[in-house]
Amino acid sequence: MTGSPVLRRTLAVLGVLVGVWLVVPTLIVVPLSFSGEDSFAFPPRSWGVQHYVTFFTEQSWLTALLVSLQLAVIVTVVATVLGTMAAFALARSRFRAKGAVDGLFLAPLIVPGIVVAVAMYAAFLGWGLIGTPTGFVVAHTVLALPFVTVNVTAALSGFDRTLERAAASLGASAWATFRSVTLPIIRPGVLAGALFAFVTSFDEVVVSMFLQSPNLQTLPVRMFTSVTNEVDPTIAAASTVVLVVSTALLGLASVTRRNRRHA
């Protein structure tokens, strides 16, 4: 970057402004969640943690949080295993329709969420999966899968397959080679994919709206209901929790990726 000091300073100011514009509206929920009042008045006239107390004690919030956490954990495991296997298959085979299959794996990222939601609703209705834990796991796994395949494929593309030949020549079976050589080396990519999968499931709302039932709601769905039906500032606390969890995990993902580059 060369240029006059004035230009550089202007660019810096603009950059900060854009950043503020992107982040501040989101961050409003943080002070709001520590409001001492039962309203959305901003700025709050008094401070307190009562909304957090409500969030972590009231049954409907707590249940929704636990459902979301459990779901995200299961989806992370399923999507990471399936996505890693898919990435291996895609990275290591050559066939005519490979480009098309690669594209199919990215489809959930590209197809509008509402279209996916409607399609899944129609399909799951026939299969009796609406409002069931299985339905949620299957749906969220579909959405999380591309993040795993993309990250693992990237890790595999930099992997030297001579190492697998070396392991084989030294007496390691295919499975031992995968476990002790391939997986440890591509682990940062797998971990990044897993974190993305967790976050994808944890804050997914559109598909979950369609799949929900009165006794099976995820946290984002519960929040949406709260906003539309109630005037309850507890949602600010809920939002802050989601914000912190997602940001922390994605931060972790970017750290593991940076480590991979340095390795």
What residues make contact with another protein under the rule CB under 8 A? 160, 162-163, 165-173, 176-177, 180-181, 184-185, 263
> Which CB atom, from 217 or from 256, has the smaller least distance to another protein?
256
Q: What is the nearest approach in angstroms of another protein to the Cβ of residue 155?
A: 13
Rank residues 80 and 177 by Cβ distance to another protein and give the closer one. Answer: 177
What's the per-residue H, E or C state across the chain?
Answer: CCCCHHHHHHHHHHHHHHHHHHHHHHHCHHHHHCECCCCCCCCCCCECCHHHHHHHHCHHHHHHHHHHHHHHHHHHHHHHHHHHHHHHHHHCCCCCCHHHHHHHHHHHHHCCHHHHHHHHHHHHHHHCCCCCHHHHHHHHHHHHHHHHHHHHHHHHHCCCCHHHHHHHHCCCCHHHHHHHHHHHHHHHHHHHHHHHHHHHHHCCCHHHHHHCECCECCHHHHHHHHHHHCCCCHHHHHHHHHHHHHHHHHHHHHHHHHHHHHC
- Residue 262 C-beta: closest distance to another protein, Å: 10
Output 123 or 183, the one with its CB closest to another protein: 183
* Cα–Cα distance measured from residue 188 to residue 257, given in angstroms and rounded to the nearest whole number: 6
Nearer of residues 107 and 170 to another protein, judged by Cβ: 170
Which residues have CB under 8 Å from 244's CB, separation 6+?
Answer: none
Residue 152 beta carbon to another protein: minimum distance, rounded to whole angstroms: 17
Provide long-range contacts, Cβ within 8 A and 24+ apart, for 22-27.
26/243
The distance of closest approach from Cβ of residue 157 to another protein in the complex, given in angstroms and rounded to an integer, is 16
List all residues 6 or more positions away from 224 whose beta carbon is below 8 Å from its beta carbon.
Answer: 205, 209
Q: Which is nearer to another protein, 13 or 176 (CB)?
A: 176
Report in angstroms how near the CB of residue 94 gets to another protein at its nearest.
Answer: 11
Quick one: 4 or 162, whose CB is closer to another protein? 162
The nearest distance, CB 180 to another protein, in angstroms, is: 8
- Residue 172: CB minimum distance to another protein, A: 5
Is 181 or 242 the residue whose CB approaches another protein more closely? 181
